[in-house]
Amino acid sequence: MIRPVAIVDVSPKLPPELERLLELAYNMRWSWDHETAALFRRLDADLWVKTNYNPVWILGLIDQEKLDAAVNDTAFMASFRQVCDAYDAYMNATDTWYRTHYGEFDKPYIVYFSMEFGLATCLQNYSGGLGVLAGDHMKSASDLGLPLVGVGLLYQEGYFQQYLNQDGYQQERYPINDYSNLPVQPVYKDNGERLVITVPIAAETLHAYVWKVDIGRVQLYLLDATHPNNPPELHNLTDRLYGGDRRMRIRQEILLGIGGIRLLQALNIEPKVVHLNEGHSAFSALERIRMFMKQHPDLSFEEARNILASTSVYTIHTPVPAGLERFGYDLIDEHFPWLWKELGLTREQFHDLGREPMGDYDLFSLPVMALKMSAATNGVSRLHGEVSRNMWQWMFPEVPENEVPIGHVTNGIHVHTWLSREMANLFDRYLDPAWRVEPSLDHIWHDVERIPDPELWRVKSQRRARLVAFARARLRAQLEERGAPQSEVALADEVLNPDALTIGFARRFATYKRATLLFRDIDRLIRLVNDPERPVQFIFAGKAHPHDQPGKALIREIVHYSRMPELRHAIVFLENYDMTVARYMLQGADVWLNNPRRPKEASGTSGMKVIYNAGLNLSVLDGWWDEAYHPDYGWAIGNGEVYPEDQEELQDYIESEALYNLLEEDVIPLFYERRRDNMPHYWISKVKMGMKALAPFFTTHRMVQEYAEKYYLPSLERYERLIAKNAEAGKDFANWLINIKAVWDTIQIKHVQVSKESLTVGESLFVEAVIDLGKLTPNDVAVQLYSGKLDTNGLLIDGEAVDMTADSQSNGAYTFKGQITYLSSGERGVSVRVLPKNPNLTDPLLTGLILWASPDVITN
């Protein structure tokens, strides 16, 4: 092996007239702008495919003659100038949503951390839904003009490339990413040297390069451990996404969290609001606190934590306990003694930051620490918010489940990234032009009714035909690569029917997603796909985690079924699911199938994407579909039942039968119900109703606006209020909270009196409570009347809290009064509770301080 004496970077040589192609190539706006992508495809269509749709690499490979010919091509240069003008108008816009509503800013102040970012097929820095959501979040932040910056890791090998062996069993390969041919750029210091961040990793110091990705108007910064000064075990740290053992994982997350905060400091970016996209980056909270304590040496850890937690947002992404990041204390002790010393904590105090009981033992949990370090936590759909409140209620033992401080912001998609060019052109003709910049406005989508059925159906049929052609080509390539007989390869050109009802299923092959539910009654499936009058076909894609043997077995099972003579023409599994495969499938499928075990799907976003591409959803009522479903827009498998784990076999049987029934009785008949013009008008009507109702909501524009208004902007206000004048307000607030915790046990609810036991609907109940506040005053607490329904054990559930007011004081105790009006009949429970109160307190329930009245103090 020969080590080079020097490394040189060879850049494309472009004619002066085309120099701006490099600027266009290095800004990921091309990944959602059809015209820019078409410009690069026009340079060399074969290279566009060969480079995995990578404009940077195209410019490095293309023949000089083709570039010179482009300069002399009047039509190409006209398109080039139009693209450049549109790019300049986008980048220099002063009327973005953020600037219009909230004014100018000098530097980004919102920092979005994520372990993965899915921006384009050529940049393999993602594994699945979490990364694609992060990529869409960044793109909408750009469109909306948010002062946001992203932080992540750059992986040398990325996530694995999937291929199947002769038996249909998943294999993995890890091609090396050539950063010089990717739309990423190294970051340099003012003196021209590469920017390098250092991070303590156990006994070593890791050196990390910094790379930048331009995503429209916002930037994403990525850390890369392949620095020559790193020892081998650290040099390989950013080789693979989610690769290696637990030690590798915690070290990746140290680099992401602690290295990410140090990166921002090096860039002179002050993180006023930090958004943790999952718990992988939770260590960023500790580094942020450490730096804040250095700036304010008189602050303790608890004071600094109380100040900075009020500016942190944590998004939970999984309701599956196995998907959470937990570590043994041996790894914590190996990596963090330096940090707990600098934070002024003992070993046990540091362990307590993430301690999660696991039955007979504890583990250090990043979600637990993220919850403790954030003032706002959310799930990613309405149902996931409910599931998360149940899942994490153990951290808030005195808080009713419905009030556990975890909200939800339902996911969305970046419409332009996932919309086919043909459908976008159709929208341009019939929708308000504002759909391109404000796709979450309701009235825009009402114009879907103006699209003539024949035009909508023609576009959908074109995309279905393109999907079939793409699937045939991919299948042929798959068979040739694994050395299949030539007779089998030849049959690849005969699979699927461009006019048949096409159903797509593509996602990570975790067992709870039940990829093989469709195959439980194989004879029934054979009858379905071989109906000569009403054919139906299924296209599958997806990867199993390299260590997930049951998930790999599901893929193998589907591949074996697809080789049966009776199913060969109608069942296809496409290898190496990525954003390109996803686009073809989502834009071409008539129906998107999703059948996880409820409620284990946090959100899911693939089904959202078919809405905009004139497709329909057939799904279990889980994740986003639980709040989106209506019979006018698609189909629901089951009625939202949740089965115990010991009845999973029964559940699979019942829901597979429901799936077959829906296909036979509803989906297939509706698709083939044609009039004399051979078009399914009722089907098209269903597509339009779904688009009108769902398209305005399930966008990342709406989602990012919701994050901004619900979390980012309030967090910014708290940050600026608390750190002003050497953090005087922050210190006062932190000390107030520390004092409240110290004296909370001195509060006593001595007596509660209710006005009567029987009321009629519309009548009010009056309640008085005598409370000894000990060393506190009414300004420090919120006293609330709490009333709600009773469960079978006589316990309050789904209660409503009403603030009570201090009326008088006597002998050191305060009398509080309140009332509640009942608008429906039934038995209701009544109680009184005390919570801390402070204008800087984001949510009093996050403090864990809550005092309930004892039943023996209540009188009538």
Please tell me the least confidently modeled range out of 6-20, 446-460, 577-591, 609-623: 6-20
Residues 6+ apart with CB under 8 A from 555: 164, 168, 169, 170, 509, 515, 542, 544, 573
- Residue 539 confidence (pLDDT) above 80: yes
- Residue 249 confidence (pLDDT) above 80: yes
Residues 6+ apart with CB under 8 A from 459: 420, 422, 423, 426, 614
Q: What is the pLDDT of residues 776-792, one digit of tens each?
A: 999 999 999 999 888 88
Dihedral of the CA atoms 791, 796, 802, 804 (nearest 10)? 150
Q: What is the pLDDT of residues 199-245, one digit of tens each?
A: 999 999 999 999 999 999 999 999 999 999 999 999 999 999 998 89
Please report the pLDDT score of residue 7 as a whole number.
60
Band (pLDDT 50/70/90 cuts) for residue 322 is: confident
Q: What is the pLDDT of residues 445-482, one digit of tens each?
A: 999 999 999 999 999 999 999 999 999 999 999 999 88
DSSP symbols for 262-291: HHHHHTT---SEEEEESGGGTHHHHHHHHH
Give the pTM. 0.96
Please report the pLDDT score of residue 158 as a whole number.
86
Band (pLDDT 50/70/90 cuts) for residue 3 is: low
Mean pLDDT score, 477-489: 88
> Percent of the chain beyond pLDDT 70?
98
| Amino acid type, 470 | F
- Residue 259 confidence (pLDDT) above 90: yes
- Residue 64 confidence (pLDDT) above 80: yes
Please report the pLDDT score of residue 483 as a whole number.
85
- Residue 810 confidence (pLDDT) above 90: no
Please report the pLDDT score of residue 724 as a whole number.
86
| Amino acid type, 499 | D
Band (pLDDT 50/70/90 cuts) for residue 488 is: confident
Mean pLDDT score, 300-315: 96
Mean pLDDT score, 794-808: 89
Q: Are 588 and 467 in contact (CB under 8 A)?
A: yes
Mutual orientation of helices 681-694 and 453-481 as an angle, nearest 10°? 90
* The three-state (H, E, C) secondary structure of 182-203, written as one string: CCCEECECCCCCECEEEEEECC
Least Cα distance to 584 among 529, 507, 504 occurs for 504
Band (pLDDT 50/70/90 cuts) for residue 342 is: very high
Q: Are 819 and 765 in contact (CB under 8 A)?
A: yes
* The three-state (H, E, C) secondary structure of 315-374, written as one string: ECCCCCHHHCCEECHHHHHHHCHHHHHHCCCCHHHHHHCCEEECCCCEEEEHHHHHHHCC
Band (pLDDT 50/70/90 cuts) for residue 700 is: very high
Please report the pLDDT score of residue 4 as a whole number.
65
Please report the pLDDT score of residue 760 as a whole number.
87
Band (pLDDT 50/70/90 cuts) for residue 849 is: very high
Residue 141, CB-side half-sphere exposure with 13 Å CA sphere: 25
Please report the pLDDT score of residue 10 as a whole number.
61
The DSSP bridge partners found for residue 790 are 796
Please report the pLDDT score of residue 792 as a whole number.
81
Mean pLDDT score, 141-170: 95
Least Cα distance to 414 among 52, 141, 709, 217 occurs for 141
Q: How far is CA 462 from CA 130, 417, 587, 748, in A?
A: 30, 19, 10, 72
Please report the pLDDT score of residue 789 as a whole number.
87
- Residue 285 confidence (pLDDT) above 90: yes
Please report the pLDDT score of residue 756 as a whole number.
86
Q: Are 592 and 612 in contact (CB under 8 A)?
A: no
Encoded tokens for 120: 């384009």
Cβ burial of 726 (10 Å; 0-12, 13-18, 19+) is: exposed
Q: Are 413 and 700 in contact (CB under 8 A)?
A: yes
Q: What is the pLDDT of residues 26-55, one digit of tens each?
A: 999 999 999 999 999 999 999 999 999 999
Q: Are 146 and 175 in contact (CB under 8 A)?
A: no
- Residue 854 confidence (pLDDT) above 70: yes
Encoded tokens for 119: 């921006």
Q: What is residue 672's DSSP assignment?
A: T
Please report the pLDDT score of residue 663 as a whole number.
98
CA angle 316, 318, 322 (to 5 degrees): 125
Band (pLDDT 50/70/90 cuts) for residue 11 is: low
Please report the pLDDT score of residue 779 as a whole number.
94
Q: Are 624 and 609 in contact (CB under 8 A)?
A: no
Band (pLDDT 50/70/90 cuts) for residue 58 is: very high
Mean pLDDT of the chain: 94
